[in-house]
Structure 1
Amino acid sequence: MSGKLRVALVFGGRSGEHEVSVVSARSVARALDPAKYQIVPMAIDRQGLWAAPEVAQKVLEASGDRADQVLAFTGAHRLDPRLLEGAVDVVMPILHGPFGEDGTIQGLCEMLDLPYTGCNVAASAVTMDKVLTKRLLRDAGLPVVPFVVVTREQWSGAVPEPVRGLSLPLFVKPARLGSSVGISKVKSWETLPAALELAFQFDDLVLVEQGVDAREIEVAVLDGDPPVVSVPGEVVPGHEFYDYADKYLDDACKLLAPAPLADPQVGKVRELALAAFRACGCDAMARVDFLLEKPSGVFYVNELNSIPGFTPISMYPKLLGLTGVPYPELLDRLIQLALIRHERRRELAAAALKPLGERAATGS
């Protein structure tokens, strides 16, 4: 491979986080070193159609740096033909939420034999699913808040009995969505049915968690030998909780980086972050989010984001920058990790294709 690496920057998508993805992609495009990379913009509209190249370029250039300043567009193809034509060297999915962060585009890249940045297929799917994540973390012995899972089949308009075993306040969340879309804080049992109805508008599986009086702490993990585990940051919500508007629209929240924590707390949360990263099978990158209970000082692992935000205000690049990995270097490392993983998978695939007798004779 010679000259500049051709990086397919994929953004937009079918999820409720469509606009956030575009804002993240704009930030990434500005940070990629033009001496090393040729950016190949690929935009996916809300219906899942891939835009023509000139449309993707226009969206990337003409949108603003807020979710409410993103240029609307319409796609034309079921798949960008450049992915099939050998026109790119590595794919960088900057897609948040379903149909992007959940293993779908990662699986597409595997099928097309293309390197891609971020977590592998399985870890992407697991971390997108809050229920699977909670169960894996719990089984690994990591601290999570008490929770109950409610399926659409179980939902009849009445509060399911297992949920009554939790204590108010509660948080009700769609299981497979991000950016706090569809999430409600419930302070009374009378308002719980409406919160469940809202969550079921976005998913057939809903997570009900017991609320804790907590600070919100985030840690960035970047894979490598050894992995980089960032200093922690803190989100101080400007609203009742850290919701979509607080994150992307009205700038009411405060992001404290680094978080004001005692040294033992910093060491503990970084240790838990790496353990959670490994428990969920992550590679490449993830942001690990925690709840630090105020009365007890206990850290609870809340969730992992396999494609964390890369907007101008996002914690993931900010925290790694404070830990000695500047934004352009972060992108370099993610691309290199993608190429290394791809080469390793090719080697494993070649070994698996050997005749059984040959594999036994060579020990492979």
Structure 2
Amino acid sequence: MAVIGGGQNCEHAVSLASAASVRAALDPARYEVVALTIRRDGRWLGPDEQPLGSSTAGSLAAALAVMAECDMVMPLVHGPRGEGRDPRGIVRAGGHPLRRGAGALAMDKWATKLVAEAVGVRTAPGRLVTEANLPTVVFDGRVVVKPVAAGSSFGVRLVATEEELEPALRAAPALDDRVLVEQVVVGREVDVAVLDDPDGGRRGRAAAGDSLVDGHLFDTATKYDGSAAFVIPAQLTETEAEALTDSALRVYDALGCRRIARVDFFLTPDGLVLNEVNTMPGMTAESQVPKMFAADGLTYPEFLDRLVRSVPGIVR
């Protein structure tokens, strides 16, 4: 099985950590793991961490040849040019089935909002802005400014004053030419992980962490500096847990997700509000989704094995 890490985006280092952790945790008695890495410049590294091919095109051709010899490919590439686009097309070109659309659709926060609203799941009020119409945005209370397609909260800014608005709007297009401006939602952030079972069933489990409370933003630094506090499993009433799981599965199905996804909500006094969907969440043993399933009794290697076996045609 080939495990791909890296990528040409701001989440390159996060992806490398996920790929390294997965490779180390998969049972060597059951899986022969082959490492492939996409460098920031687009060139590929092979299992020995040496560059493949003598050019970008040759590098890709060599990587495809490696994939063709594998029973399965696991692309652990996060963010833009990762979850929705380049590596997934390459995996398909290498002869491995991979569902189209869900990663790219979920990576697009604006499209995700439209899909969620269509299936009855509420989202934060907001508007889509391009660089051309940035000057039309006026301050009308606290908002969150975020690139439409970026992960790990890169480029996300909380705007609490009129003076903060223009810098936030100017910074976001550095990662995407479309910007989402959303009203602030105050409440607990409760995330639901959905994992497809090999027998066709699904298990959803929830973990809770504050993200937008008392003016604070759950930003990139907070996610990776160790200061984030999560309560796993989430402290929820039975009614809240049922509503979260039902809404998560509705969004998961409507986006066409398969195998794994994390669906993030705000739990407010007025009910649930969808935040966003991550179709390739962090996969280290200390990442949120594996820890959520670990709290439910599924060890990290068992979680990875279940994820692998959920792929059609893979029998172990």
Question: TM-score w.r.t. structure 1 length?
Answer: 0.79
Say which of 108, 123, 139 aligns to 2:102.
123
Partner residue in 1 for 2:208: 234
Unaligned runs of 5+ in 2: none
User: Counterpart of 1:106 in structure 2: which amino acid?
Assistant: R
How far apart in 2 are the matches of 1:265 and 1:126?
27
Q: CA deviation at 1:38?
A: 1.0
User: Counterpart of 1:330 in structure 2: which amino acid?
Assistant: F
How far apart in 1 are the matches of 2:13 and 2:166?
29
How far apart in 1 are the matches of 2:312 and 2:174?
39
How far apart in 2 are the matches of 1:8 and 1:83?
11
1:297–1:261 distance in 2 versus 1, CA, 3 Å: farther
Say which of 200, 208, 222 aligns to 1:246.
222
Q: CA deviation at 1:124?
A: 0.8
Whether the 8 Å CA contact 1:90–1:339 is kept in 2: the answer is no
Q: CA deviation at 1:84?
A: 1.9
Whether the 8 Å CA contact 1:291–1:301 is kept in 2: the answer is yes
How far apart in 1 are the matches of 2:194 and 2:117?
20
Whether the 8 Å CA contact 2:64–2:90 is kept in 1: the answer is no
Residues 51-88 of structure 1 show CA distances to partners (whole Å, capped at 9, x for unaligned) of 2432269xxxxxxxxxxxxxxxxx99541614325322
1:25 is the counterpart of 2:19: yes
Whether the 8 Å CA contact 2:115–2:255 is kept in 1: the answer is yes
Partner residue in 2 for 1:136: 115
User: Counterpart of 1:105 in structure 2: which amino acid?
Assistant: P
User: Counterpart of 2:113 in structure 1: which amino acid?
Assistant: K
1:338–1:226 distance in 2 versus 1, CA, 3 Å: closer
1:56–1:208 distance in 2 versus 1, CA, 3 Å: farther
What is the DSSP-based 3-state SS (H/G/I as helix, E as strand, rest coil) of the residue aligned with 1:286? strand
User: Counterpart of 2:201 in structure 1: which amino acid?
Assistant: P
User: Counterpart of 2:4 in structure 1: which amino acid?
Assistant: V
Deviates more, 1:21-30 or 1:32-41: 21-30
What is the DSSP-based 3-state SS (H/G/I as helix, E as strand, rest coil) of the residue aligned with 1:97? coil
Q: CA deviation at 1:263?
A: 2.0
Whether the 8 Å CA contact 2:146–2:172 is kept in 1: the answer is yes
1:288–1:330 distance in 2 versus 1, CA, 3 Å: same
Whether the 8 Å CA contact 1:50–1:80 is kept in 2: the answer is no
1:185–1:77 distance in 2 versus 1, CA, 3 Å: farther
What is the DSSP-based 3-state SS (H/G/I as helix, E as strand, rest coil) of the residue aligned with 2:3? strand
Partner residue in 1 for 2:187: 214
Q: CA deviation at 1:297?
A: 4.4
How far apart in 2 are the matches of 1:110 and 1:90?
11
How far apart in 2 are the matches of 1:220 and 1:202?
26
Deviates more, 1:318-327 or 1:174-183: 318-327
Partner residue in 1 for 2:267: 292
User: Counterpart of 1:139 in structure 2: which amino acid?
Assistant: A
What is the DSSP-based 3-state SS (H/G/I as helix, E as strand, rest coil) of the residue aligned with 2:267? strand
Say which of 64, 69, 82 aligns to 1:100.
82
Partner residue in 1 for 2:47: 53
What is the DSSP-based 3-state SS (H/G/I as helix, E as strand, rest coil) of the residue aligned with 1:134? helix
How far apart in 1 are the matches of 2:69 and 2:201?
33
1:200 is the counterpart of 2:182: no
Whether the 8 Å CA contact 1:42–1:80 is kept in 2: the answer is no
Root mean square deviation of aligned Cα: 2.3
Q: CA deviation at 1:189?
A: 2.3
Q: CA deviation at 1:46?
A: 0.9
Partner residue in 1 for 2:250: 275
1:297–1:77 distance in 2 versus 1, CA, 3 Å: farther
Residues 313-335 of structure 1 show CA distances to partners (whole Å, capped at 9, x for unaligned) of 21111112233433222222222
What is the DSSP-based 3-state SS (H/G/I as helix, E as strand, rest coil) of the residue aligned with 1:278? helix
Q: CA deviation at 1:102?
A: 1.3
Q: CA deviation at 1:270?
A: 1.2
1:84 is the counterpart of 2:46: no
Count of matched residue pairs: 306
Larger radius of gyration: 1
Partner residue in 2 for 1:4: none
Partner residue in 1 for 2:152: 179
Partner residue in 2 for 1:150: 129
What is the DSSP-based 3-state SS (H/G/I as helix, E as strand, rest coil) of the residue aligned with 1:338? coil
Partner residue in 2 for 1:67: none
Whether the 8 Å CA contact 1:89–1:115 is kept in 2: the answer is no
User: Counterpart of 2:93 in structure 1: which amino acid?
Assistant: M
Question: TM-score w.r.t. structure 2 length?
Answer: 0.90
Whether the 8 Å CA contact 1:82–1:88 is kept in 2: the answer is no
Q: CA deviation at 1:336?
A: 2.2
How far apart in 1 are the matches of 2:296 and 2:248?
15
